[in-house]
Structure 1
Amino acid sequence: MIGGLAKFSKRALIVAAAAGIAFAGAIENAAADAKFQSWIADFRGTALSSGVSASTFNRAFAGVTEIDPEVLQKAKSQPEFTEPVWGYLDNRVNEQSIATGREMSRKYSRWLGAIEKSFGVDRNILLAIWSMETNFGEIMKRDDVMRDAVRSLATLAYADPRRAKYARTQLIAAMKILQKGDIDRSHLTGSWAGALGHTQFIPTSYLAYAVDMDGNGKRDIWNSVPDALATAANLLHKNGWQSGQTWGYEVVLPAGRKFPSGSRTIAEWQSIGVVRANGKAFPRGGEKATLKVPDGRGGPAFLMTRNFYVLKNYNNADKYALGVGLLADQIGGASGLRKEWNRPFTPITMKEREELQNHLRELGYYDGKVDGKIGDGSRNAIQAFQKQMGLDPDGHPSMEVLTVIRKK
């Protein structure tokens, strides 16, 4: 009996300790929520002094009782700045996105023509932005991606010191969108960072550039594709988009040369041996351009024109602007890059990536979405399989891994 009592006492202590930890965690969460609610109450004065009505503020924050921890997790990693250029582009410029872009070009041809006429921005650029931002609206259907914009921005404003100023400004702008009536509260959704609609506009940019293209009295970038694409075109137009001109050229660099930094005319670049990779002549020798080698001298090289930098007003990352440009060209019928990226593996197609994800799922390594896009879940699954097979666990979606897994 003494031994039984000892076991019981030990078990009781473990249960009590666990309960104590859980209770302490609940107290900590309650304290955090109370602090968040106090922050909301303090922010009310800021919002009202910025032109947000009391009724709009109440409507915006109804039901927002605690921060969104997933927003803080997503804020730690942005693919534009963490992925290698080939990894970033493989997920975004591929046979699937090109084919869908061409399909959408046909479907919205009339609207795209009207938008081009109004704003002077090439339709393929707009389709590429739509693809890059929300996969032609498909991402907006995913509850695991789209979030309550007010809660997301309030989370960043309260709990992310790096983004607090940005988030406070965007939160006020989001409430002004709600106040204007372009969207109702239940549909004021966006990304973890508060980007809205098909073309992912931050709220301040929405207020500055949103367009009612379909003429229904609302600037509805959530439900109206014409409004969303025209809004993107308006942003580019007002930031200096040069109609009828390209974003840049893939080029071949002469061996053994050092190249000047900064902008030079195309004619100056030609004079030191830079030529187009497709063998065609440059159309405008007086056009200014900057040399970019995002994968080093051994990878593709580009002369970037003014429109490349206009695209960066949408997302201030070279990889993003390059992705839009390359995808737009291929939606329009151009071939891909002449020079391959310096991938440390043999690449596979999107269909083969889906096949790889399916095999990994069947073998119990992967439980994510089978879509051919390689994120952390896919990379971790590939690494686990590689370790099991005694391979170098690099996590790359390679032909080498696919060949091995096909034999399992």
Structure 2
Amino acid sequence: MSNSTSTSPRGGSGDGADPAAAPDQSAPAPTAAATAPPPRPRLVGVDVARGLAVLGMFVIHVGLGWGLGADGANPLTDLVSGRAAALFAVLAGVSIALLSGGSAPVQGRAMGVALWRVVVRGLLVLPLGVGLTMLGTPVAVILAYYAAFFVLAVPLIDERWKVVAGTAAILAAAGPVVSFWLRSMIADGPLAGPAALVEAYDPMVALSGSGLLDLLVTGSYPALTWLPYVLAGLAVGRLDLTSLRVRAGLVATGTALAALGYGLSWVAMNPMGGRARLEAGYSAAAMADHGGYTSTAQAMAEGFSGTVPVNDWVWLLTALPHSGTPLELAGAGGVAIAVLGLCLLAEPVLRRVGYPLAAVGSLALTVYVGHVLLIWVAENGLWQGTPLQWVTDDLALTLLVGALGGATLWRLALGRGPLEQPLHTVSSWAAKRIP
């Protein structure tokens, strides 16, 4: 249990910006004083960082930025691959912290309500994620995984930031190793039968092809290796994010973590011969469920989709996008923390010039769901030959302009997003009625 007694100012952000964010994060925490302190200012830097994460997903999902390179390629792909989703997950943890009081966590009944709000939001987001996955788009939908993240993170919602950060570090080091072992037992070992049984009776598998086993161990964003991102964000959100010292510290800490993760991986893969070993031991069978790459070089160039092959433990020393290794968690997590720190430092400027990006961040759930639906429409040619064909003819441009412009107008006119509002209302109503 947290014994924090901090009374430092706290920042609110989100207005339902993502499934964990709280529209009333700017409401003051209960105190013994008769008069409540004034509302906290919004942390626009958090919204901007979340907006960047959403646009980063556009780069991967619809090729936003394609053709910007001198050779016609997309220079943004390598920049955001794996890191946009990591930033999204870290910010989910930050939102959980802000929902429950930020640097001065609420206590007693108020903390219980905050905890249940997170759980209920996860339960509401789960069917939404399953439904989007059922559409069969090329997008690895993250929303269903969010439900698992929320439920697994709430036991630490009232702990001190150092405890949460320590837990995140331990899980970042141990989770990928445990995942590697479990998946090797599932692929060709004593867990193959039990895993098949779970899959056979999992209703989510029957509906979307992705079930509980994917959410926890084998999927694109398995909780076993992605929870450290969320917990890191929860720890960050317990700091005084209005402090310039804390903001600068986030940049420094994130940069150091990124350098450590990517630097150690480079040493392991090159001077220490890791890449040569993986190339010599290439296995098409091991690679079949990890991109089906025809060579180690191709895998190194493209990255993976949540986990690494289990034919050689040296894969755990890579830091490839979406590889879920300890060094990738340190590298991508460090980048996410540094980006958040930079956005917070630049907040005085971003409060005005970055409003469209902040608006996307504050309506992140709506924008995310909308972009998956548009991809589905485009994939199936539903608007071909209709007056709406222009929308899908250049999907990347449509999504960029539509997200920035649409979110800005909605935010200015109506406030909370069309999905964020009911999520807030239902979760708040339910949480207050749970004993």
Q: Per the shorter chain, which TM-score range? A: under 0.3
Larger Rg: 1
Using CA pairs under 8 Å that are at least 6 residues apart, name the structure with larger relative contact order, 1 or 2.
Answer: 2
TM-score of the pair, normalised by structure 2? 0.25
More helix by share: 2
